[in-house]
Structure 1
Amino acid sequence: MTLQNIRLAAAIVAGIAIALLVAALLLTRATLAEERGKFEIWKTAVAHAQAEAKADALEEKAKQEAKDAKAAQSAQSDYDALRERYTGLVRTQAARHPGSGVDLRRPADDAGVSPEGAENPDLPVGAGDGLPFGTILISQGDALICAENTAYAQGAYSWASQISRPAASPER
């Protein structure tokens, strides 16, 4: 073979190699374009799914906030009613016994349970100290504060009980 033939063969092989590389490059570009298209479709689908999830979450949040507001309003109403009830009890007791303190019955009294410390059943309750059982020695103002705080605590407990119940799972 002559040098010229070798150069010609090398040029042909180089041309074939270049043609193969160009074909591979074009195939790679086509594949990348296809993948880019798939990615854009996926990205759009993800954006739509995120927007839908956000809308669902905001709707659920609004429902929960409305439920919580209703529970808070109910608790406030319960608190107001209890405060009025306890305030009325304190004032009624004070009016029955002016100047003698406030005498509120205990739940144990209503149930017929004997008071603690009554070791001798023959003695009247509170004998020896001059105070009837159930008498509290605080001012009417302090009793009203206690009544209000009790009503508030019961209302808060009611509200907390309402919002701590597990929500029903949404049906889809």
Structure 2
Amino acid sequence: MAKRRPLRIFVVEDEALLLMQLEALLVAAGHEVVATAMSTAEALARIPTLAADLAFVDLRLGDSGGGIVVGRQLARTARMPVIFVTANERRIPVDEEPGPPPPDAGDNDLGGDYAGAMGVIAKPYTLHGLRTALDFLDEALRLPPPHRAPPESLFLTPAYAARWQIAV
């Protein structure tokens, strides 16, 4: 059986030590960090040239735009799946009755909930938690729908859970 290529991941994190830690954990899990950004402006500037399979975006960036803006742009413009990383998942916007996504949203923005993100990984994260989440995401992105349940380290958004008929 041929080995799959690593997932190419874009990381947006405004704290340098957390960015380095997340990069190291992703690489240790066998994946490739193809780009990083430490601010909303830097992340948005990278979007047109990104060649990534997935983005990990800190929900609370220190500058004005924040992770929500970056996540929405990645999901809608780059049509890239987004995983928010945050210590407080209650800050992610949830639309009580998500409407249809915008016409240009693509497959990775399923409506109003969670700013179009696929899921959330809570901080602090561990190598084991990231590995199990990445194993699930690898299967979900390459061979949808995934055949296993999401791990405890990954909270799948309601729109994606419904899309893949997974109880959350």
Which band: TM-score by shorter chain?
A: under 0.3
TM (norm. structure 2) is 0.22
- Select the structure that is richer in strand: 2
More helix as a share of residues: 1
- Larger RCO: 1 or 2 (CA < 8 Å, sep 6+): 1
Structure number with greater Rg is 1
